Amino acid sequence: MSKSDQSVLRQFSVMIGGLAVLTVILIFTALAIYEHEPHETNPDQPAKVTERIAPAGAVYAGNTGRAAMQAAADAAAKAAASQVAYGGTTDGKEIFDHLCTSCHTSGVAGAPKVGDKAMWSPRIAEGIDTLVKHAIEGYHGPDGNFMPPKGGNPALTDEQVKNAVHWIVDQAK
């Protein structure tokens, strides 16, 4: 081996050794920094991340796939039903008792009281469709009265609101 080859080999060995030492220093520095970082305090965070990065759909094939697809559809329907107000009931009286009674029994914000024919007759004259529309979309009356959309409960379905309006109107006839 010539002197120039030995020199190159020595310089290369020193460079590799220096890079190895630098690598070890960087690893220990990263570990020290990691130890001083605050750790996640929200126990639900891993579940949220998993949900966020989950695939948007799935592929189902054959009879096993149909069964899995039906199970997934049932689970989705159950989850959707749990998001509907009052267990998804469409009984107008029950919805009134849970939500509407607070304003329509005391007349808060100009709300017509249940059973008050004098207050309800001009509103009924406008038509049931108009009343349902006002109940779903909300209403600001000319005399300052105010009806929030869906009575202030956005979890209500349009059908639930419609049934509650029909029940209230029936009480004023």
Task: Give the residue carrying structure tokens 């009924």.
Answer: 124
Compute the distance between CA of residue 169 and CA of residue 173 in angstroms, rounded to an integer: 7
Compute the distance between CA of residue 98 and CA of residue 57 in angstroms, rounded to an integer: 37
Compute the distance between CA of residue 26 and CA of residue 29 in angstroms, rounded to an integer: 5
pLDDT digit string, tens, across residues 100-128:
888 888 888 888 888 888 888 888 898 99
Q: 89-172 has which fold?
A: Cytochrome Bc1 Complex; Chain D, domain 2 (1.10.760)
Residue 22 CA from chain centroid, whole number: 49
- Burial label for 137, CB within 10 Å (0-12, 13-18, 19+), is exposed
pLDDT digit string, tens, across residues 51-95:
888 777 777 777 777 888 888 888 877 776 666 777 777 888 888
Higher pLDDT, 78 or 165: 165
pLDDT digit string, tens, across residues 62-72:
777 788 888 88
Compute the distance between CA of residue 112 and CA of residue 168 in angstroms, rounded to an integer: 10
